[in-house]
Amino acid sequence: MSVLTAIRLAARPNAAFASLGLFWGCWAGYVPVVKGGLGVSDGTFGLLLLGSACGLVSAMWIAPRTDKALGARAMQVLASCFALAWLLPTLAPVPAMFFLALVVVGLCSGLLDVTMNSRVSELEAQTGRSLMNGAHGMFSVGYTVGALYAGVMREAGQMPVVALMGVALFVLVVMVPQMRQAPHVVPHPEHGRGAYPLVPILLCGGVVLAAFMTEAATEAWSALHIERTLGGRAAEGALGPGMLGLTMSVGRFGGQVVAERLREVTVVLIASATAAVGAVIAAWAPNPEVAYVGFGLFGLGVSVIGPMGLALVGKMVPPHFRTEAISRAAVLGFSGFFFAPVFMGLVSQAAGLRWAFTLVAVLVALAAPLALTLGRRPVSQPA
């Protein structure tokens, strides 16, 4: 199946994925500006970024019920709330209000994330096709465009609130109307739900955690690494997350093709090794150009690990557990957003960003043993 066919089959959730990416990419490009405006240290800024992680993880527990309550318009409503929520942290005058604003952003982001991933998993079960990498590729496209847009806006002297307001207007007017899609309802078995699939949820969640924690760390700190460690300009700094988003787009669309031919476990093993090598290159780069190569390799590798983990949990549990299982695996994965800001901030403050990105390489490599364990488990039958 071609990449274009996969994108077409999941067109409605793909609009949500692209919208989510636009905001996070624009935000990543503006991180140095936001941090400078708050006037806080690396460690304190890392702690403040926990606000979005708090909201994200909280959302995972209520996402299945929220999705059910909103029905066909779930993605539309949640994407609209997410777009408007992004204006809050850009208007926060003090660190405490900034933290609370990020909690709201994280909550809206998490609810939308679980809903759109569940829609893609449902479509995979209905069509018998692998669609998750293509969907996450649309996130990366949005992320890349958002990061490059942030670089242009920063060079033009525009403040974060202006840039994010532009993204919000585009999403609300152009993207949200395309997202209406009713969930596929799977009836419960006649003799109860059966045993809770805890083991596959934990294993797949661990794979997603290794990917999302290192991805979040690189998204938030790559611009600072290029500007502060390597002496790059504002546009060069924004190109760090831009390069990450670009190569993640390529990796995920390539992963969409590869997933039709290779086992998910094999793909994860190759991807984790590639990502680890890229993180080491970026960590010890002598200039921004070499760092771009490292972030590019990291993006290619890490791009497919998270989507493979979420796709696997959708396949390894009974159909009536699918949305709940994806939500729980996402809880584990998005808990990386708890650890990544603190991890990067504290290590950076103690030893510098070079060592922080070296540890990123170690963490992303941990996806490999989890994938090997998953490879020995059976796959559930689709509904």
- pLDDT for the residue 9: 87
Q: How far apart are CA 278 and CA 269, in angstroms?
A: 15
User: Domain holding 139: CATH number?
Assistant: 1.20.1250.20
Q: Is 304 a domain residue? A: yes
Q: Is 193 a domain residue? A: no
- Into how many domains does the chain fold? 1
Q: Is 383 a domain residue? A: no
Q: How far apart are CA 252 and CA 78, in angstroms?
A: 24
Q: Is 109 a domain residue? A: yes
pTM: 0.74
- pLDDT for the residue 190: 54
- Please, what is the end-to-end C-alpha distance for the chain in angstroms? 21
Helical segments of the chain, H only: 3-9, 11-38, 42-48, 50-70, 74-85, 87-91, 95-127, 132-155, 160-170, 198-224, 234-258, 264-283, 288-302, 305-316, 322-334, 336-351, 353-365, 367-374
CA dihedral 178, 179, 181, 186 (to 10 degrees): 150
Q: Is 381 a domain residue? A: no
**Tens of pLDDT along the chain (383 residues)?**
567 787 888 889 999 999 999 998 898 888 888 888 888 887 788 788 888 878 877 887 788 788 888 988 999 999 999 999 999 998 888 899 999 999 999 999 989 988 898 888 788 878 877 788 788 888 878 988 998 899 899 988 899 999 999 999 999 999 999 898 877 665 555 555 667 778 888 888 899 999 988 988 887 788 888 988 898 887 788 788 778 878 887 888 887 777 777 777 888 899 999 999 999 999 999 998 999 999 999 999 998 898 888 878 877 777 777 777 877 887 788 777 667 767 787 888 888 889 999 999 999 999 999 988 887 766 654 44
What tokens appear for 339 in the block? Answer: 């650890």
Q: Are 372 and 91 in contact (CB under 8 A)?
A: no
Query: What is the DSSP secondary-structure string of 8-70?
Result: HHTHHHHHHHHHHHHHHHHHHHHHHHHHHHHT--HHHHHHHTHHHHHHHHHHHHHHHHHHHHH
Q: Is 192 a domain residue? A: no
- pLDDT for the residue 192: 56
Q: Is 379 a domain residue? A: no
**What is the residue range of 49's domain?**
3-182+198-374
Q: Is 299 a domain residue? A: yes
Question: Residue 379: helix, strand or coil by DSSP?
Answer: coil
- pLDDT for the residue 187: 57
